[in-house]
Amino acid sequence: MKPVFAAFAGLLLTSQLAMAQAPAALPDAAAVAQILADRIDRDGQGVGMAVGLVDGATPSFVTHGSLDTGGAPVDEHTLFEIGSVTKIFTDLLLADMVVRGEMKLDDPVADYLPAGTVVPERNGQQITLFDLATHSSGLPRMPSNMAPADPFNPFADYSAEQLYAFLGIYTLPRDIGTQFEYSNLGLALLGEAIVTKSGMDYASLVRTRILEPLGMADTAMTLTPEQTARFATGHDGDLTATPHWDFDAFAPAGAYRSSAADMAKFVSAASGAVSTPLDAAFALMLDRTRPVEPSTNIGLGWLITDHDGKQTVWHDGITGGFWAFIGVNRASKVGAVVLANTSTTSGINDIGLHLLDQSLALVAQPKRHVAVDIDPASLDNYVGDYALSPDFVLTVTAQNGSLFVQATNQPKNQVFFEGDHNFFYKVVDAQLSFTMGPDGKATSVVLHQNGQDIPGPRQQ
């Protein structure tokens, strides 16, 4: 199995879901406060978190921690990056346009793109809007022509022109619609189609069709000065402050910032706890599905997990310094929002799922890896390509005194030295152990992830 590295998209599935029982009532505020305090203060796996609980028309909120280390406390109006939760906005736009008769799910995406756009096909079959929304198009998670000027803000300079150029040369590896593969690229392409059809820019379309009808005045890609003052600082798994992320062509896949108060309004609408002009669109998002794994299907963006005859509907999002979770149970019309200004290896999905169903245990937190100093000159000894399989290579590079690793068709991520030729990721729970040759240069590497130890020789 190929390793999975986090980008800004989360969607980290958990085997806990298969063991779930019927959802219980949402926990009380004191229980939620204890969960947040344990995660941040006891486990050191966060800086600030805000939770919104939806059970009826009036949401409640529990918060803990700060906007930055030692800074002002977070509250329900603190702004967080929500990463791939943005995809649910994009998929809701699609559903709304279908309800209005402006698009059809089974239409080829090429029908809605600028004239001359080349979209890969396979065996005479074209990629449809439904294929993109269900991550079943055959497109990869990320395009291979990403070369960000700033690896700490990796999506800021990737343009629509680059996206179209990649589509023009890409060969689909399998038949369309036959397999789930989470694709940030696919959602960016879906956004391009929606924008082209509407004649509006993406931010204006989201504002007029989603944010204004739902009363979400605190959700935006570009913040006002007043909102910026409430915008939390992101942190990596080592609790080190990270830059905020910006987006161009990938905006429909991960660009939005929001608060627990605003996302509670969205979850209230998605759960059916309140009626809104988007009721039909929310229902359509769950009407047709495709399989993801046993007990989990995907509708238009939403993951739908069946357990004991009940359904939990959810999505998460990750950026360089933030993690977001939204989930609902439409049968009982309850929902939960969890926002964190830290992107840790274990994340917060377990908290969100536990809030919706307390029979799901919270995940034991991983060992904390501590970075130590290394002579920057020695980093060149690790540089090279390491083949973990014939089609999966780790490319190791040194840049400005730091070591970076880029897996095949995935973004470049920094790794951190912890001694004895061992490095670790902060964006995902994965580590690298290098074996050194007589000349002091690495001859192979072992990737430690998901309980596996995957070796890879250095290619000559």
pTM of the model: 0.80
pLDDT digits (tens, 9 = 90+) for 207-256: 999 999 999 999 999 999 999 999 999 999 889 999 999 999 999 999 99
Q: What amino acid occupies position 327?
A: G
For position 3, what pLDDT does the model report? 32
pLDDT-derived band at 12 (thresholds 50, 70, 90) equals very low
Q: Is the pLDDT of residue 32 over 60?
A: yes
For position 17, what pLDDT does the model report? 35
pLDDT > 70: what percent of the chain? 95
Across 444-458, average pLDDT: 92
Report which of residues 147 and 3 the model is more confident about: 147
Contact 232, 49 (CB under 8 A): no
Q: Is the pLDDT of residue 113 over 80?
A: yes
Pick from 7-11, 201-205, 366-370: least confident: 7-11
For position 57, what pLDDT does the model report? 79
10, 82, 122, 180, 187 from 183: Cα distances, Å: 11, 17, 18, 9, 7
pLDDT digits (tens, 9 = 90+) for 310-364: 789 999 999 999 999 999 999 999 999 999 999 998 899 999 999 999 888 898 8
For position 83, what pLDDT does the model report? 98
**Rounded distance between C-alpha atoms, residue 380 and residue 440, angstroms:** 10
Other beta carbons less than 10 A from residue 209's beta carbon: 22
Other beta carbons less than 10 A from residue 402's beta carbon: 15
Across 173-189, average pLDDT: 98
pLDDT digits (tens, 9 = 90+) for 281-301: 999 999 999 999 999 999 999
Q: Is the pLDDT of residue 22 over 70?
A: no
**Rounded distance between C-alpha atoms, residue 188 and residue 119, angstroms:** 13
Show Cβ contacts of residue 241 under 8 Å, excluding neighbours closer than 6 positions: 68, 69, 233, 234, 235, 321
Strand partners, 50: 63, 339
pLDDT digits (tens, 9 = 90+) for 366-396: 777 889 999 999 999 999 999 999 989 999 9
Q: Is the pLDDT of residue 275 over 90?
A: yes
Q: Is the pLDDT of residue 73 over 50?
A: yes
For position 364, what pLDDT does the model report? 85
pLDDT > 90: what percent of the chain? 84
Pick from 5-14, 40-49, 160-169, 394-403: least confident: 5-14
**Rounded distance between C-alpha atoms, residue 53 and residue 62, angstroms:** 8
For position 237, what pLDDT does the model report? 86
Report which of residues 426 and 160 the model is more confident about: 160
For position 427, what pLDDT does the model report? 79
For position 11, what pLDDT does the model report? 44
184-198 and 86-99 are packed helices; what angle lies between their axes, rounded to 10 degrees? Answer: 40
